[in-house]
A and B are shown apart, each in its own frame.
Chain A
Amino acid sequence: MPLLSYLLRRLVGFAAVLVGVSIITFGLSHLVPADPAIVALGDHATDAQIEAFREKYGLNKPVPEQYLIYVTGLLRGDLGISLRTRRPVAADLRSFFPATFELSLTALVLSILIGIPAGVVSATARNRLPDHIVRIVSLIGGSVPIFWLGLILIGFFYGRLGWLPGGARIDKFIPPPPMITGLFTVDSLLAGNYKAFWSSVHHLILPALALGYFSTAIIARMMRSSMLEVLNQAYVLAARAKGLRQWRVTWRHAARNALIPTVTTIGVTFGSLLSGAVLTETIFSWPGLGRYATNSAINLDFPAVMGVTLLAALVYTITNLIVDMGYHWLDPRIRNG
């Protein structure tokens, strides 16, 4: 199928998914037994104050009308006003998203850099010591509660050894770099502020390890099993038979083909990193979307929860699209099929 029509079809599908996500979260926000106006204003608010609040945020209109107003706003990039921070949700998301993106991206890069070689080594050393080690370490990675791992890392590296910071994005005595991308590491490099750069790298290590362990385990497992399948293929045997060096056969011929199913896993993993970020950010006092979502849900601030959910769904769908493009690029059979 030509790439363009394929892309168009996918885009229509994505729009439908986003509409679905918005309807479900919107419906959910109206299931709340508690009154968001009272939650926002407190128990001592007068009836007049509550009425004025409802009027201001459109909470007294019929539900379908409220939804239509919401969707019309969405199309203009207006996600409503947060009941808690009293700021536009879109502005809140813009200020919290970079922290989460920086953390998730670092975790993902770590998982790919560790997970793929670990999977390859594990498969080529099948049933020998390196394989056993990789399998046990990935079994633990797939089973460990992320928030517990974070706590243990903080307790050990921050509490006991004092080697690494246990929370926040940057040292509190170092002013954050001027915002360009919102990623502290990148912005501090752009500003030539190496002190801020090292501080933000230091602060990233523990949360990225905690968040990335799960995805590393999943990627290593996937890479191992797809390598094992590929290593049995005739073309690998042929490559070996014609006298190629072992590492060349492994990395150039086998690993490249084994990467194809792993790419899907990486895409799915990136989506799950956002959910993991909720817990990691809570543990590490990381000022990102996860903590914003948690605080919003606690305070029944549904415009904010809907904003985070829609953004996460958008990231998930875009990641899926990129994965599909990756498929086209990696596998000529799909490209021409």
Chain B
Amino acid sequence: MAEITVTTVQPRRPAWRRSPLAMVGLTLIVLLALIALLAPLIAPANPLKQVLSTRLKPPSAEHWLGTDQLGRDVLSRMIYGARISLVIGIVVVGLAASVGTFVGVVAGYFGGWLDEGLMRLTDVFFAFPALILAMAISGALGPSLTNAMIAIAVVSWPVYARLVRAQVLSLREREYVEAARGLGASAERIVWQHILPNTLAPLLVQASFDMGGAILSAAGLSFIGFGTQPPTPEWGVMISDGRNYIATQPWLSLFPGLAILFTVAAFNLIGDGLRDALDPRLRGTG
């Protein structure tokens, strides 16, 4: 009688243990989202309220992160700023990923001259200096948060178009797609049901990196006057407001800058973690 050997299968380590850094990133973002959602409840003061008698006060028990040149509470402005940064990330990446995915699917699935034309268009957008184009768009439409978001989305979509196109090109030759086609499924159905779900993983990785990138670009645009306008409590605007006080009252620019740094780093950590999880070949190399 054949001997039966029993091998115990090691359970997969839970996700958080495989990528502790990504978990740090995720925790930071969840925390930030909570702060943004609960801003009216947790902010100690009205972020727009000017109290000229308490101008430029250093951090103290009363004002944890000090006050700015108009006597506004820096901590409260930062808490409200979290809202704007998260909205920027979500809107920009949402817009760029939708447009890019649409272009990528059309180019990859239909091929031919359409593919050629669309890909040359992405070449053109890649050659643009992103911030200068965003500045031009923002300048042309008038500087505002909305226009800054549109501008950043305009320079961000080509990455998604190329990514999705490459996925679609490899997926459309797969047997299950051919089978669906053989069964008479429409192009629309094949794309929605069989191709798009499989492009999701690399899209997610790109999106988490781009969330950070969008927040950085928007803050940069606001800093030079092409984005959110004062007195809105946006982190880039706050750094710009504190610019003339950098040697004497550094906290004005220091804290909003740290907030941007931590938020962007958190999204980058999530991106790294997702990429490692989805591509075992790269695990631990990022």
Contacts and interface: CB of A to CB of B under 8 A. Distances in A.
B31 interface: no
Given A151-B239, A294-B224, A145 B132 contact: no
A278 interface: yes
A115 B276 CA distance: 22
B130 interface: yes
B261 A28 contact: no
Given A31-B140, A228-B285, A297 B135 contact: yes
A17 B127 contact: yes
A146 B220 contact: yes
Interface stretch (B11-19, B75-83, B263-271): B263-271
A297 B253 CA distance: 25
Contact of B140 (A18, A28, A126): A28
A279 interface: yes
Contacts of B269: 139
B225 interface: yes
A184 B243 CA distance: 28
A276 B236 CA distance: 15
B220 A17 contact: no
B282 interface: yes
Contact of B127 (A32, A300, A317): A317
A25 interface: yes
A193 interface: no
A24 B246 contact: no
B92 interface: no
Contacts of A34: 142
Contacts of A55: none
> Does more than half of chain B's interface fall in helix, strand or loop, or is it mixed?
helix
B127 A33 contact: no
Nearest to A16: B120
B230 interface: no
Given A139-B265, A159-B246, A224-B285, A313 B128 contact: yes
A279 B224 contact: yes
Of the candidates A143, A272, A302, the one having the most CB atoms from chain B within 10 angstroms of its own CB is A143
Contact of A20 (B120, B137, B248): B120
A160 interface: yes
B260 A17 contact: no
A293 B135 contact: yes
B124 interface: yes
Nearest to A14: B127
Contact of A294 (B120, B124, B135, B246): B135
B132 A309 contact: yes
Interface residues of A, number: 58
B219 interface: yes
A228 B236 CA distance: 37
A140 B285 contact: no
B239 A312 contact: no
B223 A279 contact: yes
A275 B136 CA distance: 13
A298 B128 CA distance: 19
Nearest to A224: B285
Contacts of B128: 21, 24, 309, 312-313
Contact of A225 (B226, B248, B282): B282
Contacts of B139: 32, 297-298, 300, 305
A132 B261 CA distance: 18
Interface of B: 120-121, 123-124, 126-133, 135-142, 212, 216, 219-220, 223-226, 236, 239, 243, 246-248, 250, 253-254, 256-257, 260-262, 264-265, 268-269, 282, 284-286
- Closest CB pairs A-B (n = 4): A159-B247, A20-B124, A148-B257, A155-B246
Given A143-B260, A316-B127, 5 more contacts: A20-B124, A160-B247, A225-B285, A279-B224, A302-B136
14 contacts: A20-B123, A21-B124, A144-B261, A145-B216, A145-B220, A147-B220, A225-B285, A275-B130, A275-B131, A278-B220, A297-B135, A297-B139, A308-B129, A308-B132
